[in-house]
């Protein structure tokens, strides 16, 4: 990967440009920001919207868990050009 011209900085910049995910549940939270007094979550939202939001959220959670598992299995890359002086012996 780093042989193809991608540096740590450019990789970080690339990742930083990814737009935050917009899920229906998050939109519902923003649209119904006027909660019943003292409550943390909105009320009175049609059940079909809640079902769609839950379905999307559960699917997103599953995809994230899968992606994390895939990343966890990547072979580690030794960063020989970086010195961490805190651990210098």
Partner 1 sequence: MTKLLDIQALLLTEMNTDPALCLANAVAWLDPFWDEFADEDDDYDGDGGLGMALRVIRSSFPTIYVQVIEQLREGHSWDDIDRFVCREIEKLGIPLENLEWMGYGIPLPSYGVRLEEPDFYQSHADLIPILAPFGIDATSDADSVDVPECAHRVGQFIAEDLEQHPDEHYRQLSWLMQWLFSCSGNSTIVYVVKRFRTEMRLEEERLSSRL
Which residue's CB is nearer to partner 1, number 38 or number 78?
Answer: 38
Q: Are 53 and 81 in contact (CB under 8 A)?
A: no
- Stretch 8-27 residues interacting with partner 1 (CB under 8 A): 20-21, 23, 25-26
Q: Are 28 and 53 in contact (CB under 8 A)?
A: yes
Q: Does 72 bind partner 1 (CB under 8 A)?
A: no
Residues at the interface with partner 1 (CB under 8 A):
20-21, 23, 25-26, 28-30, 33, 35, 37-38, 40-42, 47, 50-51, 53-55, 57-58, 61-62, 65
């Amino acid at each position: 990967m780093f042989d193809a011209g991608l540096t740590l900085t450019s990789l970080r910049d690339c990742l930083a440009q990814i737009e935050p995910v917009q899920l229906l549940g998050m939109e519902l939270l923003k649209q119904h920001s006027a909660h019943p007094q003292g409550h943390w979550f909105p009320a009175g939202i049609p059940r079909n919207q809640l079902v769609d939001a839950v379905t999307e959220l559960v699917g997103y959670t599953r995809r994230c868990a899968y992606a994390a598992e895939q990343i966890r299995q990547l072979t580690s890359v030794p960063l020989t050009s970086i010195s961490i002086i805190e651990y210098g012996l």
